[in-house]
Amino acid sequence: MVPEVLQSTRPGLHRRIVDLLRPKQGWRILDLGCGRGEQLAELARFVPKARLVGIDRNAEFLTAAEARLASLPGRTLLRCADLDLALTFTDRSFDGIVSHNMLEFLEYPVILLAEAGRVLGEHGRAVFSHTDFGALTIDAGSSDLTSHIRHAYASLEADGSQHLDAHLGRRLVGMVSRCPTLRITETAVHIETSARLDGLAANRVRDIVWTLRRNLSRHHVTCGELERWRAELESADRAGRFFFAEPVYMVQARRLT
Ligand SMILES: C[S@@+](CC[C@H](N)C(=O)[O-])C[C@H]1O[C@@H](n2cnc3c(N)ncnc32)[C@H](O)[C@@H]1O
């Protein structure tokens, strides 16, 4: 039994990525932008004899990943590195590669995709997945405020400290198809829904409010509107009128030999 703090926050999504990767025992699998190690933990449960490597630039996340993976089988190596730079692995050193919701942070995501193709073995598979933040459905009754805030969030772009692209999800298939080292073998869309303002829906709403607060003047949203919006969502939730859906685009690819 996995302790509660180490359980995945998105078990359906992490399992779906494993299903698309179809890993085999003994595979060497790389997670690009592994964060707190939730996907690696799901892989360790599914293929306990795999060798797992996670890369992230956030040392705190890697410490959390280490704690999460300590109790699970499998050999794991976690590395702190900047994925805007070339990967330090030799050609064909992995059988599997996964990367979820990371490409939007990179200045040149196409370079990382090309690098992924380089380090992927001939019979391996890569799965890239990305939420389309521009296609969130948030329904709390007939509110113009929700449309206004959703639009502001969807039009967020690079703000100097990070390279946000709310539409990376819908651009993912095109981006991978233009990559000179990869060929697409399958695509999928995973949609998570919730009729309650909790779990993923609550996290996403919190993220929208937090992100827009940092960019108030650029998107013509006021603090008052954000507070009113949050109150509207909570009230809709209490009345059973809340609905949330979030699409994640997924691409399975192989090395282009
Ligand atoms: C939205 S999180 C996704 C984490 C994880 N893939 C998941 O699905 O739970 C994005 C991750 O990418 C990492 N990241 C962003 N830019 C990076 C970079 N240039 N190099 C390495 N990691 C980066 C962040 O630290 C963060 O852990």
Structure confidence at residue 144 (pLDDT)? 86
Structure confidence at residue 4 (pLDDT)? 45
Q: Are 59 and 13 in the same domain?
A: yes
Q: Are 29 and 68 in the same domain?
A: yes
Q: Are 13 and 46 in the same domain?
A: yes
Q: Are 137 and 62 in the same domain?
A: no
Q: Are 153 and 202 in the same domain?
A: yes
CATH of the domain at 182: 3.40.50.150
Would you say 54 and 34 are in contact if contact means Cβ atoms under 8 Å apart? yes
Q: Are 62 and 174 in the same domain?
A: yes
Give residue 33 CA to ligand 1 midpoint distance, Å.
4
Q: Whose CA is nearest to atom 9 of ligand 1?
A: 35
In this predicted structure, which of 68-77, 128-137, 202-211 has the lowest mean pLDDT?
A: 68-77
Domain that holds residue 252: 1-131+167-190+248-257
Helices (H) and strands (E) in the chain, counts: 9, 8
Extract the tokens encoding 133.
């933040």
Which residues are bridge partners to 96 per DSSP?
29, 125
Q: Are 12 and 108 in the same domain?
A: yes
CA distance 227 to 209: 8
Give residue 230 CA to ligand 1 midpoint distance, Å.
27
Q: Are 202 and 186 in the same domain?
A: no
CA distance 17 to 11: 10
Most confident of 64-73, 106-115, 205-214: 106-115
Structure confidence at residue 214 (pLDDT)? 82
Q: Whose CA is nearest to atom 13 of ligand 1?
A: 33
Give residue 101 CA to ligand 1 midpoint distance, Å.
7
Which ligand 1 atom sits nearest the alpha carbon of residue 36?
Answer: 9
Give residue 138 CA to ligand 1 midpoint distance, Å.
25
**Residues in contact with ligand 1 (CB, 6 Å cut-off):** 33-35, 38-39, 56-58, 61, 82-84, 100-102, 105-106
CA distance 214 to 153: 11
Q: What is the pLDDT of residues 104-142, one digit of tens each?
A: 999 899 999 999 999 999 999 999 999 999 899 999 876
Phi, psi of 140 (to 5 degrees): -135, 45
Which amino acid is present at 82? D
Greater confidence (151 vs 109) lies with 109
Q: Are 179 and 236 in the same domain?
A: no
Pocket test for ligand 1, best of 21, 29, 85, 102 (most atoms within 8 A of CB): 102
Q: Whose CA is nearest to atom 16 of ligand 1?
A: 105
Q: Are 116 and 83 in the same domain?
A: yes
Which ligand 1 atom sits nearest the alpha carbon of residue 58?
Answer: 25
The pTM assigned to this predicted structure is 0.92
Mean pLDDT of the chain: 90
Q: Are 87 and 174 in the same domain?
A: yes
Per-residue confidence band for 87, with pLDDT thresholds at 50, 70 and 90: very high
Number of domains in the chain: 2
Give residue 54 CA to ligand 1 midpoint distance, Å.
10
Q: Are 171 and 226 in the same domain?
A: no
Distances (CA, A) of 254 to 19, 63, 251: 15, 31, 10
